[in-house]
Amino acid sequence: MIFGVALVVALACLLGDRRRALPASRWRATGSPWAWLACGALATLANYAVLSALPALMRAPLPGDAATHGAVCAAIARDGLPHGWVDTFEGGFPIAVHYPLVGWSLVVALLRMGISVEIAVHAVGLGATLATPVVAVFAARSAGARPVAALSGAVVLAWLAPFYFYQGGWEVYLMRGLLSQAVAWPLAVLAGWGLASRRAPPWFAPLTAVLFVAAHPQVAIGSMLVMFAGVVAAWDRAALVRYARAAIASCAVAAAQFAPGVRGLRVPFGWPPAEDWKMFGFPPERLIAHAADGSLMDDGRAPVISLLWLFATAALLAFARRRAARVALAVMAATAALTLGGRALTHMGALGAALLSFIQPMRIFSMVPLAAALCVVVAAEELLAGAKPLERRIPWTRRGVHAAAWLGLALGARLAMPARVAFVRDVLDCKHTAEGACRDYDRADVEEVRSWLPSLDRGRLDFQMEDLPGVALPPDRWAFSRGVIFASGVPLGNSSGVGAHVGVNQVAFSRLRVAESGSATRAEALGVRFVLHRAGHGPAPGSGWSLRRAGERYALSERVGGTDTIGVGCVTHAIAGSDPALRTAFIDGLKERPWFVAEPRSLWAIERSTGAASTREVASDGCSADGATVAEARREPGAYEATVDAPAPVDVVIRASAYETWRVRVDGVEAPVRAVAPGFPSVRVPAGRHRIEAVASLPRWYFVGLAIAGVIVIGCCRRRPLAWPAAWRWPRRAASGG
């Protein structure tokens, strides 16, 4: 039925257009400033479901990944980035390499002003999401659309109820807390605005593209590819020049910020085990089925957005000879092709693997609602423009079309708003989580546990990750969703939030399993000193743990003896292979038995080679950890220090994520570093008493690269391109007489 109505709309547009009878819209914005202010206000009110509950939402616990982001931001606000390293989770990671800083920088700025973590993260995430429809309205106005057309596109973004969380929208944020994606959404609209609008100053498109790629490089790269299709369809030299400026500026910043780190992104870094669709995108038949039944963007709701999108696409097909319609259709087609074509790239060998490393179909998925909004704006504008000439033959045609557009928006609001208000009410009542069910909790228990954590002074704190029979509230979900992690006085041993994980190390820490035998030795091998767990589900008595604090529902256990984030041992085995082979071997080994964290003093060296992974025994060379002692001194993030006293040569392991920029000094002299499983740096020291200092740093020439990228951006933002100084130009040859 829906497709039948859409077909009728398309035929009506074709008959009304008659291919030559109606002139193409000139896209000159009409309406008074008051009309546009009213339009902006209506775009804001389209988010009434969130705005009406905003005070309560701002005080609500951070959802999913937002809590992980908040913990990292709190650490940065407290300690800064003296070495460009964050040690909040697992073994830590280099900040400039591992994650974009735009969203985190905004949150840190609010934290420095004294705002709480929860409110700061919500202010950035929800603020960016709610601002996107309003930004879309004024972007459409700058492009020349009418108020009702601009508002029609804005409601697509305001009422989005997506099939999957990569699509974006405030419902996704409230359930999953994707902070960087939320920040990238309005920047995507601004970047498209800068490319489409002739009124924008020369610096606007390059600058917004730079901010876009710095906020979320995967989304930005995919979006810029989609926008290129629109620029080509426009067949406009000025738009192509604006795109070239934006692409050069954003590529320069992306290369300077991420390329030096990506070059050394080897084990333990890289994606942890995940379903194929997270890397290659959903199978086409799955997305097509959801688009056909209206659940792609109206999941569990009246198909308001789906109908707008469908009717708009039908109208655009009828108006395909018009430039704006061609652009919108090209953007939609490119979005669909890049989203659905990920699996085709897997059949292209090394080239396909290289393309998938920076063209991620599931990140381009976030462009679907933005492309749909563009289609709705263009279709509405073209229909409104086409109604004006018809008024000569059919009186009141233009006003009738306007009235129908406003009536359609009012009807859409009537259908869309109740379900969205109910969704927010359910969020506040804890009826919706990422898993679809509420896990209630006792606030008194939360406050009690929070009071235990600030006094922790060494090692790492781990949350018991495995689901336990008969336990309604796994401690990891409770801890991350209720904000307990913000109270820890030491780094955390695990993370359930994307953005803080470090590939193999994430899997290693998740296999701690404190209730099983040997957990104390595994914890020492990972630098974990404390474990928070449910009462009665912790380590067995006499298993190397002692009970530090206990409540009615939760308990905190402390490992007895051993070392913390700096340990000693001897390399007894080596494992060699290509990076993919090593990653597979480590993850498979952790699934079966944690062989390289089962004994903290037996180390496995990591060697890089080609082909499949292979293992061999290594001669001791007199190495022995017997009698060795470690006196560790706490340092700032990215730095470790200890005094090691050993009667024989020994390998000292720094239990932080191995990265090429670690520099380890023994008694002030830099020592050669080698990686040991699951992915920690290590050095060999001779017998005796030695001072060990390990310090991380940013990649070499990192700031030089950023400075060069800054010069390129400035050049792209100038009204006229930068030219060589006259003194540097190659002299012209004098014209010869004839």
pLDDT tens across 352-374, in order? 676 776 778 888 888 999 999 99
Better-scored residue on pLDDT, 595 or 457? 457
The H or E element spanning position 140 is: helix 117-143
**Averaged confidence pLDDT in the chain:** 84
pLDDT at 275: 61
Q: Going by CATH, does the domain composed of 566-695 fall within 2.60.98?
A: no
Query: What confidence tens digit (pLDDT) does each residue in 165-210 have?
Result: 888 899 989 888 899 999 999 999 999 999 988 888 889 999 999 9
Is-cis flag, bond preceding 678, omega within 30? yes
Instruction: Return the closest-CA partner of residue 530 out of 500, 575, 560, 502.
Output: 560
Q: How many CB atoms lie within 10 A of CB 469?
A: 5
Per residue in 35-53, pLDDT (tens digit) is 889 999 999 999 999 999 9
pLDDT in tens, 671-720: 999 999 999 999 999 999 999 999 998 888 888 999 999 999 999 998 76
In this predicted structure, what is the pLDDT of residue 116?
A: 92
- What tokens does 695 get? 């310090």
- pLDDT value for 723: 52
Question: By the 8 A CB rule, do 136 and 180 touch?
Answer: no
**pLDDT tens-place string over residues 3-19:** 444 445 555 555 454 44
Q: Mean pLDDT over residues 528-539, rounded?
A: 87
What b/e sequence results for 414-441 when a residue is b if at least 16 CB atoms lie within 10 Å of its CB, and e otherwise?
ebbbebbeebbeebeeeebbeeeeeeeb
Location of structure tokens 């063209």: 359
pLDDT, tens digit (0-9, with 9 covering 90-100), for 402-442: 777 788 888 888 889 999 999 998 888 765 444 444 444 55
Query: Does residue 706 sit in helix, strand or coil?
Result: helix
User: CA 608 to CA 123: how far, in whole Å?
Assistant: 45
Top pLDDT among 392 and 147 is at 147
- Decide the pairing of beta strands 528-534 and 460-463: parallel
Determine the pLDDT at residue 468. 44
Q: What is the pLDDT of residue 434?
A: 44
Residues 390-407: tens digit of each pLDDT:
545 555 556 666 777 788
CATH 2.60.220 in the chain, residues? 566-695
> What mean pLDDT is predicted for residues 640-651?
97
Core vs surface per residue 541-570: b (16+ CB within 10 A) or e:
eebbbeebbeeebbbbbbbeebbbbbbbbb
What is the DSSP secondary structure assignment for residue 269, as one 8-state letter?
-
